[in-house]
């Protein structure tokens, strides 16, 4: 098993070129390959994988077929940290024997696995090597397909290949000041399940148990609400969030005015689709996370 650590940003299609142009203009960047990827995700009829926060797919790229299993893992400063198993196949058929040494073997009836949805897109890779970390930056543009339904997919992913994990956030924040982006906690698999009408119960937010709220926790709660609203295409509820605490955190990292504007937009019912075109959204998300990461690291 390998461990994957990445930050994912959603953006509008017309911003992808701006993101690519800026990345390629950096001294630390080198242009990688461009490829078309067809990804078929599998689950049982009663969605046993989804309920266990796992995703199983076969990826077709050129002459290669790759079978991949991912677990949801945890969020670390806006980055997804997940367990990942990957095997090269000789055909597009799912190989059940490869799953024998994974958590699926004892928890899932593998014989019931069948295709559920696809994520099909073109990926342009840019490699970043800044001396502290090597990062694969993938710019994806395509669609998610579930039966007769589909939705657009436009993302930039920063995945750590080696070195300092904090550099993921550094580069994501830099990009946020070049073009509008949205720090998205919803994976491609979660989007596909949602499109297919297979929805998992949303975990309850952590309660403070009568203790004073912590700005670190409030940042996580805000980010989750933004991502959930993006997925559901709904308005963002600010109820229960300690906005003065978040505002003070934003002020401390010179984002006070940007945060106030964002809160005003959200309070007036501005949806995520409306805010996606505004650079302030991603700047505020990533700026708050970067400030938190610096505080956690200490002197």
**In the chain, domain spans:** 2-195, 215-297
pLDDT value at residue 4: 76
Distance between CA atoms of 63 and 57, rounded to whole angstroms?
16
What CATH number does the domain located at 2-195 have?
2.40.320.10
Most confidently predicted of 53-57, 73-77, 106-110, 155-159: 155-159
Residue 205 pLDDT > 60 = no
Which residues lie across from 142 on neighbouring strands?
A: 121, 153
pLDDT over 70 percentage in the chain: 90
Strands (DSSP E) along 72-212, which ranges?
Answer: 74-76, 79-89, 114-129, 133-146, 149-163, 182-183
Q: What global pTM score does this model have? A: 0.89
Which residues lie across from 6 on neighbouring strands?
A: 80, 159
- Tokens at 153, concatenated: 């997919």
Residue 212 pLDDT > 50 = no
CA dihedral 247, 220, 143, 108 (to 10 degrees): -170
pLDDT value at residue 211: 41
């Amino acid at each position: 098993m390998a461990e994957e650590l990445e930050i994912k940003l959603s953006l509008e299609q017309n911003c992808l070129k701006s993101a690519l142009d800026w990345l390629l203009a950096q001294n630390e960047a080198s242009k990688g390959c461009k490829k078309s990827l067809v990804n078929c995700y599998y689950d049982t009829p009663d969605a046993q994988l989804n309920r266990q926060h796992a995703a199983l797919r076969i990826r077709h790229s050129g002459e290669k077929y790759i079978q991949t299993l991912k677990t949801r893992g945890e969020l670390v400063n806006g980055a997804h940290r997940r367990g990942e198993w990957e095997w090269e196949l000789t055909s597009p058929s799912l190989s059940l024997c490869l799953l024998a040494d994974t958590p699926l073997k004892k928890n899932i009836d593998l014989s019931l696995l069948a295709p559920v949805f696809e994520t099909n897109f073109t990926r342009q890779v840019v490699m970043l090597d800044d001396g502290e970390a090597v990062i694969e930056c993938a710019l994806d543009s395509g669609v998610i397909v579930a039966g007769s339904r589909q939705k657009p997919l436009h993302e930039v992913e920063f995945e750590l290949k080696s070195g300092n994990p904090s550099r993921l956030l550094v580069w994501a924040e830099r990009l946020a000041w070049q073009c509008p982006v949205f720090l998205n906690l919803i994976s491609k698999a979660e989007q596909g399940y949602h499109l297919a009408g297979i929805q998992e119960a949303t975990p309850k937010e952590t309660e403070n148990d009568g203790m004073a709220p912590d700005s670190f926790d409030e940042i996580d709660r805000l980010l989750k609400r933004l991502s959930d609203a993006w997925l559901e295409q709904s308005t963002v509820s600010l109820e229960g969030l300690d906005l003065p605490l978040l505002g003070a955190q934003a002020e401390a990292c010179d984002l006070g005015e940007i945060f106030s504007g964002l809160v005003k937009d959200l309070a007036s019912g501005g949806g995520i689709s409306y805010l996606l075109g505004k650079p302030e959204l991603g700047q505020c998300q990533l700026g708050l996370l970067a400030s938190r990461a610096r505080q956690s690291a200490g002197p």
